[in-house]
Amino acid sequence: MIRGRWPGLLALSLAACLAGLALGAVRLPPSAVWAALADPSAPVATIVREIRLPRVLLGFLVGGSLAVSGAVLQALIHNPLGDPYLLGISGGAALAAVLVIAVGVGGAWTLPLAAFAGALLALGLVYRLSLVQGRRLDAHILVLAGVVVSAFTGALVAAILTVSPAGRLRNAFQWMLGGLGAASWESLAVVAAYSVVPLVLLGWQSRGFDLLALGDDAARHLGIEPERLRRMAYIATGCLTAAAVASCGIIGFVGLVVPHAIRLLWGPLHRALLPSAFLLGGAFLVLADALARSVAAPVELPVGIVTALVGVPLFASLLRRSIR
Amino acid sequence: MILEANGLEVRYPAAQRSALKGVGLTLGAGELVAVVGPNGSGKTTLLRALLGTLPLVAGEVRLLGRPLGSWRRREIGQQVGVVTQREESLFPLRVEETVTLGRYAHLRPLARLRESDRAVVAEALRRADVAELAERRTDTLSGGEWQRVRVARALAQEPRLLVLDEPTASLDIRHEMEVFELVRRLAEQGIATLLVTHHLNLAARYADRLLLLHQGTCAVVGPPATVLRSEVVARVFEWPVAVTALSDGAPQIVPLKPGEKPEG
């Protein structure tokens, strides 16, 4: 156990946001960032307030949401490999997004809308498939249904990409690796509208996930209705992930690894795990995005590449140090 | 009565015959009743029916005088502690944290643990004799320690009724005896206790009454000496046995080898 969880996480979050505001194609000193935040007429106010601030906030919200979703899904399906994208959501979103890009109507408005619709369709399909014999929503069947839907949409995406012209192929590819380039105050508002209620609901029920991780029988005897909690959590994480994917594409790794990092540092009780995962996931994605914007400037790397390249070694060293 | 059930019938989907038929049971405070019977005779099904996790075709269960169907899960969790046969530990906790999960049914969502909750947890750890393990991680415990920790978690629910499904499966003599001693002690402290076990001989020594299940029906119910008679046990378990008695009168079953005759 490491002490100072909350001061540490809050300081990290703040530092990540400052870095996100300062780094990019134009590198700003902290004083300039501060001046721009305080005064709308400062010289770099437009860059900081209109471009970077919504991007940083969106990154934080999406990173946090993915980490919370991952943490909840790992308990939900009794599997440490749980990931927000495991349940077919990313597959559905990717299929819809690639479709509109291939047809040539993939714009700032149509792309997120299509991705969101595709994610919800996949979510509904997986849900329906796992309702065998009544309304059990069994953990194993849920995973199988998710894998099946992902495989199917993956095949369709590959088919569409194969027959697409090269220029559009590149666009689709970039979208699938994720990025916060489309961030704006409007997109932040839309994602926030879809995220706040699910996040509050999941946080409210956080203790239930401690019980759910013991298996349905034990959970039931300790006082919860596993099926009801699973249904709520499935829909809530689905909404969070769909909103994240629609606005930023498929950003891998955050949802899988951030919850494990928190568990290794502070243990697996969800009442503290979920808010911690939100902070660490948010800070991690904001930092990854700052790197993605600045390492190869003016070219912007897809942020999904950075989350994996930075996150894997960090996590591997954490894992090695905690298992002795 | 803490628990009353009568005429219980359960049928699994697509099954030819009922898994449980016409079984009844009463259990009062401080009483220890053991459910015994061959594999597949309906022991676990009976527990599930009594705990309301299986739909009944017929019959009724009353907990503290109230029909079980009118209880919410959370309310049951405040009155009934259960040690199930199996449980996953996906993300191992410390022992004290594990036992604290038993307080969840008493806590509002997000509410902090009260002093009284901590006291109940400490008391549960002490009663189940696992206080010195409090800081250990559950994945480092032996089988016997883990079972006692799960009993402690059930005690943290402050149960009027404690239900244990084969708590000593795959434990050695010492750990098995420790669990039986613990369960007996808890019953004497006033908890109505229901125990499913394959250990006829230990059940005969520790339980007030036995309920012997045979193909989903109740073959006999009563004090150990009236239930464990050689012809009954031989018929139900389909194997010849001899019955001896310990000095305190508890009957003890000795399975016979083929062709062997009971002594005396």
Amino acid, single-letter form, for residue B141: L
| Residue B264: both structure tokens together | 């005396």
- Which residues in B lie closer than 8 A to residue A199 (C-beta atoms)? none
Contacts of A81 in chain B (CB under 8 A): none
**pLDDT at residue A322 tops 70:** no
CA atoms within 13 A on the CB side of A152: 13
Report the run of H or E that residue B217 belongs to, with start and end: strand B217-222
Check whether A324 has a pLDDT greater than 60: no
pLDDT at B259: 84
Q: Are strands B251-255 and B241-245 parallel, antiparallel or unpaired?
A: antiparallel
Q: What is the mean pLDDT of residues A152-170?
A: 86
Amino acid, res. B226 = T
Q: How far is CA B230 from CA A90, A95, A236, B237, in A?
A: 64, 69, 59, 10
Give the pLDDT score at B79. 97
Interchain CB contact of A215 with B (< 8 Å): yes
Confidence of residue A297 (pLDDT cuts 50, 70, 90): confident
B157 touches chain A (CB under 8 A): yes
pLDDT band at B166 (very low <50, low <70, confident <90, very high): very high
B90 reaches A (C-beta below 8 A)? yes
For the beta carbon of residue A10, count every other beta carbon within 10 angstroms. 12
Confidence of residue B162 (pLDDT cuts 50, 70, 90): very high
Q: What are phi and psi of B61, to 5 degrees?
A: -120, 135
pLDDT at A1 over 80: no
The whole-angstrom distance between B76's CA and the closest CA on chain A is 7
Q: Coil, helix or strand for B24?
A: strand
Residue of A nearest to B88 (CA): A214
Residue in chain B closest to A205 (alpha carbons) equals B109
For residue A216, which of A74, A83, A76, A87 has the smallest C-alpha distance? A76
CB of A204 less than 8 A from some CB of B: yes
The partner residue sitting opposite B91, judged by closest CB among A224, A263, A271, is A263
Instruction: Report CA-CA distances (Å) from A264 to A76, A83, A158, A210, A258.
Output: 19, 17, 37, 16, 10
Q: What count of CB pairs under 8 Å joins A to B?
A: 82
Q: Quote the minimal CA–CA distance from B39 to chain A in Å.
A: 20
CA separation (Å) from A187 to A118, A180, A184, A236, B207? Answer: 18, 10, 5, 19, 66
Quote the CA–CA distance of A35 and A116 in Å, as a whole number.
37
**Mean pLDDT, residues A118-143 taken together:** 80
A207 to B109: CB separation less than 8 angstroms, yes or no: yes
Averaged pLDDT, B8-19? 90
pLDDT at site B80? 97
Average pLDDT estimate for A161-174:
81
pLDDT at B28 over 60: yes
Across chain A, mean pLDDT equals 87
Contacts of A268 in chain B (CB under 8 A): 91-93
DSSP reduced 3-state for B214: strand
- How far apart are the CA of B23 and the nearest CA of chain A, in angstroms? 22
Contact B80, B161 (CB under 8 A): yes
State yes or no: pLDDT of A136 exceeds 70: no
Contact state of A220 with B73 under an 8 Å Cβ cutoff: yes
CB contact under 8 A, A211 and B76: no
Starting at the edge strand that comes first in sequence, how are the strands of the sheet with B32-36 ordered?
B80-83, B161-165, B192-196, B32-36, B209-214, B217-222
Q: What is the pLDDT of residues B57-111, one digit of tens each?
A: 999 999 999 999 999 999 999 999 999 988 877 888 999 999 999 999 999 988 8
Enumerate the β-bridge partners of residue B195.
B34, B164
- Which residues in chain A have their CB less than 8 angstroms from residue B78's CB? 223
Q: Greater confidence, A135 or B167? A: B167
The three-class DSSP label of residue A198 is helix
Q: What is this model's ipTM?
A: 0.91
pLDDT, residue B102, reads 96
CA angle B199, B201, B204 (to 5 degrees): 105
Q: Does B76 touch chain A (CB under 8 A)?
A: yes
∠ CA A25-A54-A299 to the nearest 5 degrees?
Answer: 25
Cβ distance B104 to A214 less than 8 Å, yes or no, reads no
Contacts of A4 (CB under 8 A, 6+ apart): none
pLDDT by residue (tens digit) across A227-238? 899 989 988 998
Residue of B nearest to A201 (CA): B109
**Cβ contact B78–A223 (<8 Å):** yes
Which pTM was predicted?
A: 0.90
For residue A55, the model assigns a pLDDT of 94
φ and ψ at B165, to 5 degrees? Answer: -105, 105
pLDDT at site B231: 92
pLDDT digits (tens, 9 = 90+) for B180-230: 999 999 999 999 999 999 999 999 999 999 999 999 999 899 999 999 999
Nearest CA in chain A to B82: A221
Report the residue from B51, B97, B157 with minimal CB separation from A269. Answer: B97
Q: How far is CA A97 from CA A93, A187, B173, in A?
A: 6, 17, 63
**Nearest CA distance, A19 vs chain B (angstrom):** 33
Q: Indicate if the pLDDT at residue A148 is higher than 70.
A: yes
Q: Residues B239-258: pLDDT tens digits? A: 999 999 999 889 999 999 98
pLDDT single digits (tens) B108-148 = 988 899 999 999 999 999 999 999 999 999 999 988 899 99
User: Where does the pLDDT of residue A2 fall: very low under 50, low under 70, confident under 90, or very high at 90 and above?
Assistant: low
Tokens representing A82?
A: 């749980």
Place of tokens 């979050």: A13
Q: Give Cβ neighbours of residue A192 (< 8 Å, ≥ 6 apart).
A: A61
Q: Which of A31-45, A162-176, B21-35 has the highest mean pLDDT?
A: B21-35
Closest B-chain CA to A271 = B110
Each residue of A171-187: b (16+ CB within 10 Å) or e?
bbebbbbbbbbbbeeeb
Q: How far apart are CA A306 and CA A4, in angstroms?
A: 28
